Amino acid sequence: MEKKKILLAVSGGIAAYKAAPVASKLYQSGYDVKVILTESAQKFITPLTFQTLTRQAVYTDTFEEKEPAVVSHIDIADWADLVLIAPATANVIGKLANGIADDMLSTTLLATKADVLIAPAMNVNMFNHPAVKKNMQTLAGFGWRFIEPNEGLLACGWIGKGRLAEPEELINAVHMYFKENREGQSLPLKGKNVMVTAGPTREELDPVRYFTNHSSGKMGYAIASAAKKLGADVTLVTGPTSLEVPSGVQVERVISAKEMFDKAISLYGEQDIVIKCAAVADYTPVTVHSNKFKKKNDTWTIELKKTDDILKELGERKEHQILVGFAAETENLEDYAKDKLVRKNLDMVVGNDVSKEGSGFGSDTNEIVMIKKDGSIRPLPILSKEQAANEILEEVMELMKR
Ligand code: PMT
C-alpha cells in the first residue's frame, strides 16, 4: 500500500520535546513523515533531531527554498495526507484561527487542503482564556479535530489542563484517523463538495425579540455528518442551533434568512451537491426597531415582508449542481412537494409531514418521501434522522450516475 504522508508541525512550547518520539514512532510505523519547526520550537529542540528520526529535511523557514522547482510551503501543503500540529501553542492557534501567515508553519497550514489534527499545550489559564477558546472554536469550525490536552502538573508549576497529550495518544489519533478513512479511494463522495443548510433562521424585530421556528437542526446536521462519512468535503450553513458540528465538517454560522441567502449563494458555484434542509423564515419584519419596542396598546400589528427564496434562486442559477430541497407540510404532502420540485427546479425534493408524531421538527426521527424530477416517488417508514440522511444521500448518488 502507498505510504500515508504525515506533516508534523511543531510549535514552540516545552512540550516540543514530545514531538520527537511522535515523529520517530510514526516513521517506524511506516508513515512518510515531514516536519516543520517554528522559530520558537527550535529554542526547545533542533531540526537535526527530526531530520535524523524521519530521514527527511526539516522545514523551518518559508524563504529557504530547498528545491528550486517548487515553492516549499505549497509543495508540502499539497504533499500531506494529514497534518498533525503538536504541540500547538496559544500563539499558533491564534494565528491559524485568524489566517495569519508569517512563517513556514502558518503559510503551509493556510495552503493545505489536508485534514488537520491539532494538539494544544499551554498553561491552564491560557488554555481557559476566552481568546484561546474562541480561536479553538474557529479552528473546529474549519473541520480541524482537536486532541485534547491532559490534566496534571504543568511545566510552569500550575496544575490543570494543558499538558500535551502523550506521544502514544497522538500516534493513536493518527492511526485512528487513517482507520476511519481507510476506505479512502472507495468513498463514493470523495472529491465532491456538498453544502447542507440546517436549522432555523431568526428574524429580528427589535433588540430583544425575533421570529423563528421549531427547527432543531438535527436533520440537516445528520445529512452533513453522513455526507462527510461518505468522503465529501462538507460545508454546513447553519442557523442558530445548540448542536455540535459533526467532525470534519466546515461550518458557516448565520442568523437571518438574508444571511443564509448571501452565504448559500456565495458558496454555490463550487458545490457539486446542495441539500437545503434549513427551515428558512418565509417572512421578516418590515421594520426592525433599534430600541426595545415598549408595551403601549393592547394590540401590536407587525407588518411582514417576504424573504427571498434561497432554494428558488439556487434552482434558477443551477449549472452542474445536484439540488435537493425539503418540503415541510402539514397537509397534501406529495402535491405540495411536487409543486416545489418543479417551481424551484430541483433534482429531488424530500417531503416530510411535520404534523405527524415522530416526524419533522425537533424529533430524533423523520418520516420522509423522496420525489425525483423523473417522477419517481419513494416513501420511507419512520427512520432515525441518521438513517433518513443515508437514504437521501443514496438517492443523490443515484442522481449523480445519470
Ligand atoms: O431541524 P429539525 O428539527 O431536525 O427538523 C427538520 C425539518 C423539519 C426542518 C426538515 O426536515 C425540513 O422539512 N426542512 C425544510 C423546512 C422548510 O422550510 O420547508 P418549506 O417547505 O417551508 O421550504 C421548502 C424549501 O425551500 C426548503 O428546502 C427550504 O430550505 C427552502 N426555502 C424556504 C424559504 C426560503 N426563503 N428559502 C428557502 O430556501
> The domain spanning residue 38 has which CATH number?
3.40.50.1950
Same domain, 144 and 214: no
Domain-embedded: residue 185:
no
Structural domain ending residue among the three candidates 145, 180, 215: 180
Is residue 135 over pLDDT 80? yes
Q: What is the pLDDT of residue 333?
A: 97
Same domain, residue pair 130 and 255? no
**Distance separating alpha carbons of residues 171 and 173, to the nearest angstrom:** 5
Which of these three, 153, 180, 207, is where a domain ends? 180
Contact 343, 314 (CB under 8 A): no
Q: Structurally, how many domains does the chain consist of?
A: 2
Is the per-residue pLDDT at 331 higher than 70?
A: yes
Q: What is the pLDDT of residue 179?
A: 78
Q: Are residues 11 and 82 in the same domain?
A: yes
More confident residue, 184 or 221: 221
The pLDDT assigned to 182 comes to 60
- Position 31 in a domain: yes
Confidence at residue 310, expressed as pLDDT on a 0 to 100 scale: 98
Q: Are 61 and 105 part of one and the same domain?
A: yes
Q: Is there a domain that residue 88 lies in?
A: yes
Residue 384's pLDDT band (cuts 50, 70, 90): confident
Does residue 85 fall inside a structural domain?
yes
55 and 151 fall within a common domain = yes
Q: Three cell numbers at 249?
A: 465538517
pLDDT tens-place string over residues 207-227: 999 999 999 999 999 999 999
Stretch 379-396: mean pLDDT: 91
Q: Are residues 36 and 152 in the same domain?
A: yes
What is the residue-averaged pLDDT of the chain?
95
Ligand 1: which of 223, 262, 280, 346 to mutate, judged by most atoms within 8 Å of the beta carbon? 280
Instruction: Specify whether 22 is located in the same domain as 165.
Output: yes
Rounded CA-CA distance 325/396 in Å is 12
The band of 240, judged by pLDDT with boundaries at 50, 70 and 90, is very high
- Residue 188 resides in a domain: no
What string of H, E and C letters represents the secondary structure of the chain? CCCCEEEEEECCCHHHHHHHHHHHHHHHCCCEEEEEECCCHHHHCCHHHHHHHHCCCCECCCCCCCCCCCCHHHHHHHHCCEEEEEEECHHHHHHHHCCCCCCHHHHHHHHCCCEEEEEECCCHHHHCCHHHHHHHHHHHHCCCEECCCEEEECCCCCEEEEECCCHHHHHHHHHHHHHHCCCHHHCCCCCCEEEEEECECCEEEECCEEECCCCCCHHHHHHHHHHHHCCCEEEEEECCCCCCCCCCCEEEECCCHHHHHHHHHHHHCCCCEEEECCECCCEEECCCCCCCCCCCCCCCCCCEEECCCHHHHHHHHCCCCEEEEEEEECCCHHHHHHHHHHHCCCCEEEEEECCCCCCCCCCCEECEEEEECCCCEEECCCEEHHHHHHHHHHHHHHHHHC
For position 395, what pLDDT does the model report? 95
| Angle at 52 (CA atoms; ends 49, 58), nearest 5 degrees | 70
Please, which pLDDT band fits residue 186 given cuts at 50, 70 and 90?
low
What CATH number is attached to the domain comprising 384?
3.40.50.10300
Whether residue 216 sits in one domain with residue 167: no
224 shares its domain with 137 = no
369 is a domain residue: yes
The pLDDT confidence band at residue 309, using thresholds 50, 70 and 90, is: very high
Distance from residue 280's CA to the centre of ligand 1 (Å):
6
Picking from 146, 180, 214, the residue at the C-terminal end of a domain is 180
Q: Are residues 168 and 232 in the same domain?
A: no
Kindly tell me if the per-residue pLDDT of 23 is higher than 60: yes
Select from 326, 330, 364, 369 the residue to mutate for testing ligand 1; criterion: most ligand atoms less than 8 Å from CB.
326
Q: Look at residues 42, 173, 80, 56 and name the one whose alpha carbon lies nearest to residue 118.
A: 173
Strand partners, 115: 82
Q: Tell me the pLDDT tens digit for each residue of 90-127.
A: 999 999 999 999 999 999 999 999 999 999 999 999 99
In a domain, 187, yes or no: no
Catalytic entry in 156, 176, 342, 377: 156
- The per-residue pLDDT for range 195-205, each reduced to its tens digit, is 999 999 999 99
| Domain that includes residue 223, residue range | 193-400
85 pLDDT higher than 60: yes
Tens-place pLDDT, residues 256-278:
999 999 999 999 999 999 999 99
- Using the predicted structure, report yes or no on whether residue 336 has a pLDDT greater than 80: yes
Cα 301 to middle of ligand 1, angstroms:
26
Same domain, yes or no, for 294 and 374? yes
Pocket of ligand 1 from Cβ distances under 6 Å: 215-220, 257, 276-280, 282, 307, 309-311, 325-328, 340, 352, 354, 360-362, 366
Nearest-CA neighbor of 235 among 113, 314, 246?
Answer: 246
Q: What is the mean pLDDT of residues 285-304?
A: 97
Give the pLDDT of residue 235.
98
Catalytic site includes residue 277: no
In a domain, 94, yes or no: yes
Residues 215 and 280 in one domain: yes
Report whether pLDDT(183) > 60: no
Give the per-residue pLDDT at 359: 94
- The residues facing 8 across adjacent strands are 35, 84
